[in-house]
Chains A and B, each alone.
Chain A
């Protein structure tokens, strides 16, 4: 709109008028600034590549196809990508990416649950609970997260016993300084049907809930659905499971010469990292939740009590929906921080993107610009995705404008 304005004005002006026209001047300076900045970046990047070439450092992305040649600590990324030292550097990238995503995912869930719990506890009428929650926040928020990661990691590997003396849970799961060994589910043919039954159960539950909600809206008759939902979601697959003759068995860890073998090993690096990040981030989320709750007018709570809602109902139906509107934006920031902080894992050797790809591959290949550039783009992409997702949630939660 503005552009057209300027153009139509320009046509009717003489040169000297043009020179003194405010809008034309402003437009000219904006273009000039843009060109200057673009030129500066162009020069810097051109310079960078000239220097790299002059120093005889290889450039390009052909290294991605080369054999990696080193081992990675076995975790989810390794299993999903079937990683061996024969795999390519690109596979290392995927392994790192998966390991980063799993930390971010588990970390965000844990931090949210813990943060919500602590945030509400902080406002509790119970003196001890409120003070404990406050103490928790002050303690963990004020210690650098890298230090906390080191702390939990070193605690973990020093406090738990040697594999030969593992804590055993009914000989099925084991805990020792090399991690938590869970039974590894091995799926047999037919198990897909059980999964399908589970999904069908979920869909049926949603349909049922809609039906009863409609009924509630129309007739005011409230029906408790928890029992039916449980039956549909868990009962249905259970029936299929038994009918198909239990198409699933577990692989348990057994003690080898040095280590436990088999089972599903959850390495201490992952546990320590996820724990430290969740505990740290939860303090900020708790504060966001608290500010959200405190932002809800006191009258709302009183009104809820006046119409006879219980404490829990009032929290669930009246306070939280309003509190979340205030709490969601700062919480999104914390999710982003947690994801980015996961790159600190490189310090304890958890093979995430920066450790495995931005660390080991970088050192073997030496092409810092390409490798760090790729890593940066990935973090940017993950962050933008989280941001987008939660902005959608935020829009849905916002007060409908009337």
Chain B
């Protein structure tokens, strides 16, 4: 009888525990790290090196949030996820945030119980073929077999594009980036389609990048950005404004090297937490932005370090330049 009682008490405690939802910030601060969902390896965006250190522009968003909340950009636990696993992992609370080249769409934003906290890379879907095929436009791809990764908006865009342009193709779907690439390399399919950034990243990783051509057509808008669970507005604000801090820092010319300089620019002083009390509104210490910029750098530093024109990936800023420099990158003011 006693055992039975114990069992029943224990089981109700378990059932009760399932219902408890603590604030993500206090959760993160008590466990001492941010669990961040990233890709299984997409060079320049999120990839681990031989020593297990993660780098990339998506990774830098995770690091910025860790710097803001814990004061240490290294306190991130990276959880590599496939495209299919990512939303479930976030919904279930396995990760605190998702920063995994994820496209912001209305369906995802409004029906999955998730919120997109901003855009850290404006992308679009493109095609890559082997130069030996002699194809110069996506319009010539009728009848081709197309390699594509499962569970992505890419699948939907491709179907829409095929229908719109009357192009008949065969889609070969794989679960992971690696298998998609293997399929393309081996010749299981003629074309690889994904976000253009991904294509550049894969082309850079190929044995001989000149053997592959990225076709000029961009068939979709793919704003990629970090995602959080719905229902925790404080955490949502932290992630959104950590990213905005990096963008604003670039705009104001603050880099990791010049972060200590005190100037007479009031907005810069507000951004760096040396005046005003915006930190209280997000529930963080005054040095949260200082930690982000000093440890991770501003947006431009992150971009040039990971995917910029001088890296093997070699992506120009293009639309991802600041709004003042011909791009569309724009952060609301720190005020």
Contact = CB atoms under 8 A, between A and B. Distances in A.
Interface of A: 29, 32-33, 36, 40, 43-44, 47-48, 50-52, 54-58, 69-74, 85, 154, 157-158, 162, 177-178, 256-259, 261, 268, 346-349, 351, 355, 359-360, 362-366, 368
B210 to A, nearest CB: 20
Given A57-B113, A364-B156, A349 B174 contact: yes
B194 to A, nearest CB: 14
A73 B173 contact: yes
A353 to B, nearest CB: 14
A56 B152 CA distance: 21
B157 to A, nearest CB: 9
Interface in B139-159: 141-145, 150-152, 155-156, 158-159
Listed residue (A44, A85, A158, A177) with the most chain B CB atoms within 10 angstroms of its CB = A85
Nearest to B115: A56
Given A257-B142, A259-B144, A349 B175 contact: yes
A363 B113 contact: no
B172 to A, nearest CB: 6
A56 B171 contact: no
Given A47-B18, A51-B18, A359-B84, A368 B230 contact: no
Interface stretch (B7-15, B250-258, B272-280): B7-15
Nearest to B151: A363
A360 B88 contact: no
B113 A55 contact: yes
Interface of B: 4, 7-8, 11-12, 15, 18-19, 21, 83-84, 87-88, 91, 107-108, 111-113, 133, 141-145, 150-152, 155-156, 158-160, 162-163, 169-175, 179, 182-183, 186-188, 190, 229-231
Contacts of B83: 363
A70 B193 CA distance: 14
B167 to A, nearest CB: 11
B108 A157 contact: no
A72 B15 CA distance: 40
B108 to A, nearest CB: 7
A73 B172 contact: yes
Given A33-B4, A71-B159, A85-B163, A363 B87 contact: yes
A73 B174 CA distance: 10
A85 B161 CA distance: 11
Nearest to A265: B170
22 contacts: A47-B15, A69-B156, A71-B155, A71-B171, A72-B173, A73-B171, A73-B172, A85-B163, A258-B144, A258-B190, A268-B188, A346-B150, A346-B175, A348-B174, A349-B150, A351-B173, A355-B150, A355-B173, A362-B151, A364-B156, A366-B91, A366-B113
